[in-house]
Structure 1
Amino acid sequence: MRSINPLHIGALLVVIIMFLFFKLSSVKSELDEARLGFKESQKLAVNLTALQSVYANKDKTTAALRRIFNNRILREAKLLVLDKKNYSLISAKKINTKALNFLMSKVLNSPFIIEKLKIVKLNDKEASLEMEIKW
């Protein structure tokens, strides 16, 4: 009967250990990539949460719109404001250009999601307005 050579066993163990170190290094690199992906996803989630608190808050949006509409220039314009479940519809059949410019400067410089905006010039001093602000 032939016995197993101890050098063969040693060589086999060295090969197995080298194979395990190779596998371990590849798993470590995959773990590092997954960790980086997780950190990027976490940063994105924080940014999205911050943006959602600014843009998707119905109470803040309606309060800001009410502050804008309470201005003397816009009270004279007779805007029709309809608050729905997910949006607010603002319309005016006739609005003078001064009031329209004031409204657009306030709305466009505020954190609103403007879903629809339609302005039609009626004459040199008046226009019609239809705007939908979503939250």
Structure 2
Amino acid sequence: MDDRTSDASVVTDCRADFRTRVLKRNVTGDSARFCDVCHILPHSKGDDYILNVIHYRGGMDYRDDIQATDDPRNGFLLNLLLHRRLGDGVSAFLKTPNFALTVDNIPSTPAKTSQRGDSNKSLHTPPLR
């Protein structure tokens, strides 16, 4: 485990509060039971790190700065399996446009095909209970 990740099995009061605040901000009626609450900038970097990022990034016309890594604006919900893949370094987020790619270079998701082979119908999978 490196400094980008943390042991998700250790839940402190601070982390539980962070989770509660991110869930309150992001969940609008559906279940988030298959999601983890994740930090955008890792919690392990500490509050000084996020303060430096905010201070040195350009183009800010306002000053509603994040003061700590546990601010809910530094969090998002992520599928449990994808969270594991990110932590293992197998998957990553790629911001586009960047120096090599435009948004048009990324293929869109193909239409889902039902088990009967009807290409115009989506396969609906009910939520697990």
The bucket for the TM-score relative to the shorter chain is under 0.3
State the structure with more CA Rg. Answer: 1
By percentage of residues, which structure has more strand? 1
Greater fraction of residues in helix: 1
Q: TM-score, normalised by structure 1?
A: 0.22
TM-score (normalised: structure 2): 0.23
